[in-house]
Amino acid sequence: MFFFNAQSNKTGSLNVGLMGGTFDPIHMGHLVTAEEARQQFNLDYVVFVPTGIPPHKDEKTVSFPEHRYLMTSLAVMSNPSFFVSRFEIDHAAPTYTIDTVRHFACGKESGLEVFFITGADAILEIFTWKDYEELLRLCTFIAVSRPGYSLDRFYESLDRSCPEMKHKVHLLEIPALAVSSTFIRERVALSKTIKYLTPEPVEQYIKKHGLYRVSL
């Protein structure tokens, strides 16, 4: 279980947002999204959970877990409301969203409320996720997308499959940021600057360890 050495909000509960991903590398878009979610949904903390062995990706195409964990830690160190969890990093086997949510939801009895932050496109696939009905019981989903995006079709599907869970998914609109981890890796490979696309400590870490360079 992940513990927080701080007081809960005024309601007596502790609202914690979980943000998973490979973070290869983490970038400004991740941080802007986390902060906006924190403010709009009254989250006490946002916990970044770097993926250990991604179940749906080729492990060989993803950077070493410890690199991704350290870059994420560097990126969030200036925000006292942001934390990084090693839960998935330290697992030898692939982990799924339900595994991570179960881990954090252990604190529900003591007033911990879990919010899972993910892309709106990803939430459309939730019916294919492992134990998705239990997921909807254990946490509230924050579906992040660009302004004007509609989840109407998703809600229609949710009404048919488990209508009692419709209130567990909320849309969070974030102005489009033309940055992605793939874009950053491509720029590094081409020896182009990534300044202002990712926090400076992460930029320096990438340079120091020679990450994303094309091997000749």
- DSSP H or E run through 130: none
CATH 3.60.60.10 fits domain 14-177: no
For residues 49 and 68, is the Cβ–Cβ distance under 8 A? Answer: no
**pLDDT of the chain, 216 residues: tens digit per residue:** 454 544 445 556 899 999 999 999 999 999 999 999 999 999 999 999 999 876 666 556 899 999 999 999 999 999 999 999 999 999 888 889 999 999 999 866 668 999 999 998 888 888 899 999 999 999 999 999 887 777 787 788 778 877 878 889 998 988 867 789 999 999 999 999 999 999 999 999 999 999 999 764
The DSSP-derived string for 176-210 is -----HHHHHHHHHTT---BTTB-HHHHHHHHHHT
For residues 140 and 123, is the Cβ–Cβ distance under 8 A? Answer: no
Residue 20 β-bridge partners: 49
Give how far Cα 173 sits from Cα of 21, 32, 126, 146, 170, Å. 19, 11, 19, 5, 10
Compute and round to an integer the Cα radius of gyration of the chain: 17
Number of Cβ atoms within 10 Å of the Cβ of 60: 5
